[in-house]
């Protein structure tokens, strides 16, 4: 188990990504081909910045990434990346202004997770709420035919959440990356082709 964790942790360090979570997005992108040159990406819960950095590399200078987190993103990013510190669900006027200025986006990503308590039901419930809030952002800021990736903890709320995502997207997939820790309850829900 330890060796498994170390592999992705070490690889992230070697490849200069701030966290091992980058490999989850790489696997998602390899499967679903979401990140393309020139597109606009909104990255929710972006800190420490691995998904932001990988997205920026994929979209290139003709594209754009807007990354939001409650905590500041400390890593060096290309100048076509905008980082915002704040709560996207209770946004400041500045955040609203920037989102409206750069919307619509082709892809909304959310790797957000609740601060875990160790109480399985409570953690799953909060994860479900975050996923729902991310879906509302996607409904508001995604372009028609745009795509959505959101993390949710597997639990009794997942079928209900999938039903909600199906009302907004033509296709809905569930995906658990190999780079997710074995014991992790996280899965990713992918909404393709916004209606």
Catalytic pick among 24, 40, 58, 151: 151
Q: Residue 115's domain spans which residues?
A: 2-194
Q: Would the pLDDT of 175 be above 70?
A: yes
When divided into structural domains, the chain yields a total of 1
Q: Is 151 a catalytic residue?
A: yes
Token pair, residue 20, equals 């091992």
**Terminal C-alpha separation, the chain:** 41
Per-residue pLDDT of 130-142, as tens digits, reads 999 999 999 999 9
Main-chain phi, psi angles of 184, to 5 degrees = -70, 140
Per-residue pLDDT of 65-123, as tens digits, reads 999 999 999 999 999 999 999 998 999 999 999 999 999 999 999 999 888 888 888 99
CATH number of the CATH domain containing 13: 3.40.50.150
Query: Which residue is associated with the tokens 């905590």?
Result: 71
How many CA atoms does the CB half-sphere of 65 hold within 13 Å?
29
Whole-model pTM: value is: 0.93
Per-residue buried b or exposed e for 81-99, using 16+ beta carbons within 10 Å of the residue's own CB: bbbbbeebeebeeebeebb
**Within 10 Å of residue 12's Cβ, how many Cβ atoms?**
18
Handedness of CA 24, 26, 32, 38 (dihedral sign): positive
């Amino acid at each position: 188990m330890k060796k498994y964790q170390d592999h992705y942790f070490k690889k992230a360090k070697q490849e200069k990504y701030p966290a091992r979570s980058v490999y989850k997005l790489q696997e998602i992108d390899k499967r679903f081909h979401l990140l393309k040159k020139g597109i606009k990406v909104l990255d929710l819960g972006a800190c420490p910045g691995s998904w932001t950095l990988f997205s920026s590399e994929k979209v290139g200078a003709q594209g754009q990434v807007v990354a939001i987190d409650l905590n500041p993103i400390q890593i060096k990013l290309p100048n076509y990346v905008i980082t915002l510190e704040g709560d996207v669900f209770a946004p400041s006027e500045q955040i609203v202004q920037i989102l409206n200025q750069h919307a619509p986006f082709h892809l909304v990503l959310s790797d957000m997770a609740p601060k875990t308590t160790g109480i399985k039901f409570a953690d799953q419930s909060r994860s479900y709420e975050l996923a729902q809030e991310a879906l509302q952002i996607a409904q508001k800021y995604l372009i028609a035919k745009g795509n959505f990736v959101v993390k949710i903890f597997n639990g009794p709320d997942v079928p209900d959440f999938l039903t909600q995502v199906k009302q907004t997207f033509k296709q809905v997939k569930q995906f658990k990356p190999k780079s997710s820790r074995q014991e992790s309850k996280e899965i990713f829900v992918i909404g393709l082709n916004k209606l």
